Amino acid sequence: MTRRIALLLLAMLVVAGCTSSGPVAHDAGRVVLPVKQVPVAGRLYATKGRALYRFSGTDLTRLRFGSRVKDPAVTSAGDRIAVAQLQDQSSTIVVSDPNGQDRQILTPSSVAEGSLWALAPAFDDDGHQILYLTDRGKQPSSPQNLQPNDLAVWAYDLATRQTRRLVHPFAYTGGDSDPSYRPGVSDQLVYTTYLYGGAPLEPVARLTWMSLRTGATVYLSPDPGRNFEPALSRDGRFVAFIRGGAGGDDLYVMPLATTYTDELRPYPSDSAVLVQSGIVAQPVWAPDGSAIAFLKLVNGSFDLFILPIATDGAIHAAGAAQAVTHGSFLDADSRLAWSP
């Protein structure tokens, strides 16, 4: 007993000696704008707590979807938005007008093979086609008969309502992610391929270019390594992406060739780091190519930043990144979208 009391008193002294604050709580509340607001050119979309927000100028608007959403996408004209609408254990792709009204569900939440995920929509240049991820086409699975249900890249034609699978993912990797049409051309797309590489095997993420005309795919980043969340500039000349490393997740950018027939060697040939030393996610280009918005982890909160970019000569940051939000705990697993 004496020993326990001694221990307690010692612990009390130790407790008394600790003066630092506790961990930051994850805030489910409102989006917080800094005192000195950073105006956003055009309309920039992000989600927090699975609700969709639009930043425009110094205005912040919460769009009422009536359900939980993630992965907003917007047409180049800004007249339609698409989101992944989440249910309990499934999701669908929904398009609407820029205010979240006039909604139309594009994909089923379940089919004969079971419930489905549909995620990460992305419009083509003229807003007629949507790329998205889904586990449609999987084999029925049970604990006694496990089957892969990896995400594949599919396309949806808004005019004909036809869907088609574009990519077959590697089994048991979780599948592919981050699909986007390449602006300026109608037959190219870029996405992230997830696979395993190295010895011993470890998770690998590779930027992947695909020709819809020939079906050819080319890796734009090395194996091993983790390069993901590609974001194409509106003119299709550059791709911003995240490179994962031991010290964090950095923002890079590199130019794209007109087309590819062989894999880049060395990878990536002309990439430049824009934001280093931190955890960065979900880059998206400004419509005029003058900036990249992204989420960055600051004091336990993912917040929205805008980095001015110069693409004359060697691509580089043209200034410091500015915080659009502060302590807002935005959803870092949800894409950003930016329209004029």
Partner 1 sequence: MNHSPATGVPDAPGSRRVRWIALGAIALALALIGGVLIYLSPLLALLEPHEATVGRVAGAPAAPPPPLDSKQRINILLLGSDNDQKFQQDALLSQTMIVVSIDPSTHQVTMLSLPRDLWVEIPGHASAKIDLAYAQGGAPLARATVEKAFKFPIHYYAWVGLNGLVRVVDRVGGVDLDVLHPVLDDNYPNDFSDSGYGTERVYLAAGPQHLDGRHALQYVRSRHGDLLSDFGRSVRQQQLLLAIQQRVAGTDLVAALPTLARDLNGHVKTDLDLLRLTQLALFMRDLHPGDVHQAYISAYLRDATSSDGQQILVADWPAIHAYLRQLFGGDLLP
| Interacting residues with partner 1 between 254 and 313 (CB under 8 A) | 279-282, 295, 297, 300, 302
Distance of CA 230 to the CA centre of its chain: 8
What's phi and psi for 242, nearest 5 deg? -105, 135
Number of neighbours of residue 261 by Cβ within 10 angstroms: 9
Tokens of 102: 């006039």
The answer to whether the beta carbons of residues 194 and 248 sit under 8 Å apart is no
By CB under 8 A, name the one of 29, 30, 89, 273 that touches partner 1.
89
Residues 6+ apart with CB under 8 A from 246: none
Name the residue with tokens 């089994």. 171
H helix intervals, the chain: 2-17
* Sole window of 31-39, 183-191, 223-231, 304-312 interacting with partner 1 (rule: CB under 8 A): 223-231
Number of residues that bind partner 1 (CB under 8 A): 72
Q: Shortest distance, CB of residue 24 to partner 1, whole angstroms?
A: 6
CB-nearer residue toward partner 1: 9 or 318: 9
User: Using CB under 8 A, which residues numbered 10 to 49 contact partner 1?
Assistant: 10-12, 14-15, 18-26
Name the residue with tokens 């089957």. 147
By CB under 8 A, name the one of 67, 166, 196, 197 that touches partner 1.
196
Q: Does 229 bind partner 1 (CB under 8 A)?
A: yes
By CB under 8 A, name the one of 1, 5, 35, 314 that touches partner 1.
5
Beta-bridge partner residues of 157: 129
Q: Shortest distance, CB of residue 25 to partner 1, whole angstroms?
A: 5
Sequence letter at residue 266: P
Question: Of 69, 180, 75, 195, whose CA–CA distance to 133 is shortest?
Answer: 180
Q: Does 66 bind partner 1 (CB under 8 A)?
A: no
Q: Does 202 bind partner 1 (CB under 8 A)?
A: yes
By CB under 8 A, name the one of 156, 181, 249, 323 that touches partner 1.
249
Sequence letter at residue 287: P
* Sole window of 29-37, 139-147, 153-161, 212-220 interacting with partner 1 (rule: CB under 8 A): 139-147
Q: Does 110 bind partner 1 (CB under 8 A)?
A: no
